[in-house]
Structure 1
Amino acid sequence: MGTSVELVYLLLVLYSLGQCAFGGCAGKCCRGKDRHCLTTDWRMDRVYGTCYCDEGCGQTRDCCFDYFTECPAQDCVVSEWSFWSGCAKLCQPSQRVRVRHTERQPSYSGEPCPALEQRAGCREYRDNKGKPCGANSGPAFITSMEFAKGRPKHDSYGNPLHPGFCVEFMLESRTPHCSLQNRPHTHWMRYITEGFRVCVACEPPAMRNSSRCQGDGQDAHKEALLHWQALGSPQCGGTWRRVQKSKHCSCPPQHSFVFI
């Protein structure tokens, strides 16, 4: 009698080991929530019985013991960003766009795909016939100093362009919308804070034939209250007072911008 009990116990142990060896989810991984994607085996909470191998079992906590081994999470994979497009409109502030595509969809609770499109403010200086845009009046349009890295330093003949100059302003006011920017390429607007001094570079191609930039305040009297607007967000704008003009910008990077 004792031998029979021991034999039954041995068989149960071998059965359990066999189940562990082959895995409850081996070949049974299912996408999404699928309550038909089940088997009978040890669960992750060490209870033997019905367990699941679908992506939803992680939330319901009834996965088979080997779910994360047999059904490893795969994060979304996306391509590199494309080049920025041209501006949507010519001779006025508008937007440019760049895109990327999904190379692998996420699976088994992997990280979801990030945004596949980004938009940023931009401005063209020539019309569709290649002629320079006419002079515009209005506020100073500014963007991040990062934008200046992509500007040409030489003309089409290889001659160096005018190095430009820098204007220092004291910020008097800004709209609340500036601090609410969460999109990539608009985070810089958060650093436009009342009471701070900012440096704004006037460089080609924003520099006009008169060696000036729109809204630089060169013709304004010393205490004049001037208007500015962040390119890429019409709701982010405010006023500032011109402090001084210099050859080079000396403000911290987060308080340095460029005229557009």
Structure 2
Amino acid sequence: MPSGHGKSLWALLLFLLIRRLQGSCQSAGLCCPGRNLSCVTQGWRLDRSYGDCFCDQACISTLDCCHDYNTACPAVPCLVSEWTHWSGCAEPCRATVRVRQRMILDEARNGAPPCPALQENAGCAEYHDQERQCRQTLVPALITTGGYGNARKKREAPENGDIAGYCVEFQLTSLTEGCHRSEGVHTRWMQYLREGHHVCVECQPPALSAGQTHCSGDGENATEDGNVSLQWQAVGNPRCRGLWKRVRRQDSCSCPSVHSFLFI
């Protein structure tokens, strides 16, 4: 038979065990979002101290959660829907943005990471409205590096061998900082664009298809005094765009390798 002292010790251990079982998020039926000072009971905390312990989401940062918080209130990740289809361009005849969205199906709970972005934007250009073709000064020229043209010429030569391309010389008058921050393998060429430089842009198939006389955005129908600013947009980086002025058209292309580009 245990002695009186032994009985007292067992009684104390049993009392503490009962208190531990009672003083928990699960037994109290508590599991609260955010910071809630009323979401509290008494019991053992995660740091093995005894006293007031909380079952709200804030207890993770305040370090006063009840010992069973993680099992009674497991983190529930945010659940979002699939992306919608991309919208049309915000405005016709301009380089603007298109949008796609998704919605929250189930909010994040119990310390799970917050929901991801619900909207994405991307560069966008529509060259025609429903009634007429856009004015040339409003149509941004989409360009890529001239190095892409070598393979493209080989692919298109048999089908478009009877279409004569041409080049247009422009002077860059402005460009955005996004051009100098292009670090990808296929966008690194944008770092070499500089205000004041003259660039040579080729108009060739498939940008120039049968029946067309010029590429979109080449400034063919703009005034020839050289004072009209035309828009351009780099393909692969919507943050790289700017203005240039048309200098002249060259029917016989001899674009230098450094500042040579292609209409898309």
Question: Which bin holds the TM-score, normalised by the shorter protein?
Answer: 0.5 to 0.7
Deviation for aligned residue 1:63: 0.8
Q: What is the CA distance between 1:65 and its match in structure 2?
A: 1.3
The TM-score, its normalising length taken from structure 2, stands at 0.61
Structure 2 distance, partners of 1:28, 1:90, is: 55
Alpha-carbon distance in 1 for matches of 2:213, 2:6: 100
Alpha-carbon distance between aligned partners in 1 of 2:206 and 2:144, rounded to the nearest angstrom: 15
Q: CA deviation at 1:77?
A: 1.4
- Partner amino acid for 1:237? G
Question: Which amino acid counterpart does residue 217 of structure 2 have in structure 1?
Answer: Q
Q: Secondary structure at the match of 1:10?
A: helix
Over aligned residue pairs, what C-alpha RMSD do you find?
4.9
Q: 1:4 to 1:206 in 2, by over 3 A?
A: farther
Over the matched positions of the two proteins, sequence identity in percent amounts to 31
Counterpart of 2:233 in structure 1 is 230
The one-letter code of the counterpart of 1:213 is S
Q: Which amino acid aligns with 2:177?
A: P
1:106 to 105, 108, 119: 108
Q: CA deviation at 1:229?
A: 3.4
Letter of the structure 1 residue corresponding to residue 4 of structure 2: S
Q: Please list every run of 5 or more consecutive structure 1 residues that lacks an aligned counterpart in the other structure.
A: 146-160, 182-187, 218-225, 247-255
Q: Equivalences for 1:141-160 in 2 at 5 Å? A: 141-142=141-142
Partner of 1:59: 61
> Is 1:78 the equivalent of 2:80?
yes
Query: What secondary structure does 2:117 align onto?
Result: coil
Distance 1:206 1:48, change over 3 A: farther
Contact 1:33 1:54 in 2 (8 A): yes
Please say which structure displays the higher CA radius of gyration.
Answer: 2
Shift of the 30–134 alpha-carbon distance from structure 1 to 2, 3 Å rule, reads closer
Q: Are the aligned partners of 1:106 and 1:113 in contact in 2 as well (CA < 8 Å)?
A: yes
| Structure 1 residue aligned with 2:34 | 32
SS of the residue corresponding to residue 7 of structure 2 reads helix
- For residue 25 of structure 1, what is the amino acid of its counterpart? C
The structure 2 residue matched to 1:96, chosen from 95, 98, 108, is 98
Q: How many residues align structurally?
A: 219
1:7 pairs with 2:7? yes
- Unpaired stretches in structure 2, ≥5 consecutive residues: 146-158, 221-228, 255-260
- What is the TM-score with the length of structure 1 in the denominator? 0.62
**In structure 2, distance between residues paired with 1:12 and 1:190:** 73
SS at match of 1:192: helix
User: How do 1:111-150 residues align onto structure 2 when only pairs under 5 Å count?
Assistant: 111-129=113-131, 131=132, 133-137=133-137, 140-142=140-142
